[in-house]
A and B are shown apart, each in its own frame.
Chain A
């Protein structure tokens, strides 16, 4: 019998241990992005734009060229990169504090210009790196270190649904929200990410994938409970789905 390898590390990922906390799903999203780069055989012509947050060490894990952006500015940095290297694959990888608070201006206008970028938006409903403060995506009533009695929408405002918001812009070719809390959802997430990079390969415009993820450390939960919270609380507020898809053809 001939042994057949059915599961291996994507070549776009380095063979190193990550710094992510146990149960953190940044690692899962990294893997899905790397599988996509492998799929397009694109690691050699990909430029990643790292943002400020727990994912800042993108270059330690991906075996690709990377430029580090100031907090929230990754879509503007990526715009500069893409305008120089039009045939490269350029993506940003941003957290919810980075993209939906300090960087709202940059993300909206990059989408609106229809920049040929792929944006991976990792929504864990909190500021992970700085220790679990309230994020623009923190759910109503969710306790954080700066909303210890729970997010009060009367004074703190409401969580922002970025995938829906960006879908209203004419420049956005693709906008979807996925989760990685179950095998089925991981498969769906992989497909969405592949589609978002595919649109860039085909020059269709701006493509956005929001991934709902856990932050067990700052949620004060063990990895299993954190993963359960995705289906129990997060998905009901942030529905999964595709909000715009200007593919022209339905695959």
Chain B
């Protein structure tokens, strides 16, 4: 019999990480993600793992770097201001080709901002955050089940491609309780072994070095071309999205994470009123499902992108759609009281279905 639990999204992340064999957690408290370190601090010691409440987010990500350099599955979690601090370490991990999971239960900004649900970190997550022009795998769950499933997937992809992975969610998904089926983890049979990992096991074989410094003539260029090729491959093989009701849609609504959840309800209401609306929900934000947008907009020419920010993902949507598709944007800056209701989105959907709204 498959177990069914009723848990918070944040707890589902922690459970997914433990299921995937992560035994090293390093973090620093910040709302609204504290359920994750609290869960890990209780469970990891019993599993023979290590939990450290570090002195800062900077220290946390560097502990992840160290543990990952030894081949262990390791993670950290935080929220927006803390993720800013981790960007240095994420860049070093990307440059050193180290896997590792970073969870961002995003809050509003800029600055101290607020603790409300937010999608203000799309740019930070997807466009490289730290210095040097690297990419990381970014997945955006829209349910408690996906918090678990995508966490597990993120570890596998992170290991396979040797790059950091991020779960991007917010308090709506992190704090909400839903049913969860915690599927047992089956490691993919073809996951490459970590022959690069520092062993420290007493062997006097070939020296192993984990580094991101390349000073020799042409070395860094070659290294970056290799990383670039990896990102291309990631796009080819690991892009994930969900489509619903696009077959006959006049209007394609797109949103990720928490707003996709609200948009889905609005679309259902619209359908009940006879409006032909469909949803294209990016599940991975990097790699971005650009090809899916191109294909869908060969047919559906009106696109409405909804975000809990003033327009970030919409840039990638505009770059992806067919030339003659019109992309509109509806969003609000995150903050107390700015989470849209299904009725509010329904109004937007109605306007875009009926009116000849263009551009935006």
Contact = CB atoms under 8 A, between A and B. Distances in A.
A and B from one assembly? yes
Interface of A: 43-47, 49-50, 56, 59, 63-70, 73, 76-85, 87-88, 90, 105-106, 108-109, 113
Contact of A68 (B26, B50, B60, B213): B213
B213 A46 contact: no
B211 A66 contact: yes
B198 A80 contact: no
Nearest to B95: A68
Interface of B: 24, 26, 50, 52, 54-56, 58-60, 62-72, 74, 88-89, 92, 96, 198-204, 207-213
Contact of B24 (A73, A84, A105): A84
B89 A73 contact: yes
A105 B55 contact: yes
Contact of B207 (A63, A77, A84, A90): A63
Given A80-B26, A85-B200, A66 B65 contact: no
B62 A81 contact: no
A76 B62 contact: yes
Given A46-B200, A68-B210, 4 more contacts: A66-B209, A77-B66, A81-B200, A85-B70
A65 B200 contact: yes
B24 A83 contact: yes
Nearest to A69: B62
Nearest to A81: B66
B260 to A, nearest CB: 35
Given A56-B213, A81-B69, A43 B62 contact: no
B204 A80 contact: no
B201 A45 contact: yes
The 4 closest A-B pairs by CB, nearest first: A80-B66, A88-B200, A76-B62, A80-B67
Nearest to A42: B202
A69 to B, nearest CB: 7
B67 A68 contact: no
B66 A78 contact: yes
Contacts of A105: 55-56, 58-59
A80 B201 contact: no
A130 to B, nearest CB: 15
A141 B147 CA distance: 57
A46 B207 CA distance: 11
A45 B210 CA distance: 16
Contacts of B56: 105
A59 B58 contact: no
Given A76-B54, A80-B65, A81-B70, A66 B210 contact: yes
Nearest to B88: A70
Contact of B58 (A49, A65, A73, A83): A73
Contacts of A46: 200
A78 B210 CA distance: 13
B353 to A, nearest CB: 51
Contacts of A85: 70, 198-201
A85 B24 CA distance: 12
Contacts of B54: 76, 109
Nearest to A90: B200
A47 B211 CA distance: 13
A49 B63 CA distance: 12
Contacts of A84: 24, 50, 66-67, 70-72
26 contacts: A44-B202, A45-B200, A50-B211, A56-B213, A59-B207, A65-B208, A68-B212, A69-B62, A70-B89, A76-B58, A76-B60, A76-B66, A77-B62, A77-B63, A77-B69, A80-B62, A80-B68, A80-B74, A81-B70, A81-B198, A83-B50, A83-B66, A83-B67, A85-B70, A85-B200, A106-B58
Contact of B210 (A67, A70, A88, A106): A67
B26 A65 contact: no
A47 B204 contact: no
A65 B74 CA distance: 20
Residue from B59, B60, B92 whose CB has the most chain A CB atoms within 10 Å: B59
Contacts of B211: 50, 59, 66-68
B59 to A, nearest CB: 4
A141 to B, nearest CB: 33
A136 B58 CA distance: 21
Contacts of B50: 83-84
Given A65-B209, A66-B210, A67-B66, A80 B200 contact: no
A70 to B, nearest CB: 5
A82 B50 CA distance: 11
A65 B207 contact: yes
Nearest to B209: A59
Nearest to B60: A76
A109 B55 contact: yes
A113 B52 CA distance: 10
A87 B202 CA distance: 10
A79 B66 contact: yes
Given A70-B92, A105-B58, A79 B207 contact: no
Contacts of B207: 59, 63-66
A50 B201 CA distance: 19
Nearest to B215: A57
Given A44-B202, A44-B203, A66-B209, A81 B59 contact: no
A45 B200 CA distance: 4
Contacts of A77: 62-63, 65-66, 69
A38 to B, nearest CB: 12
A87 B59 CA distance: 22
Nearest to B58: A73
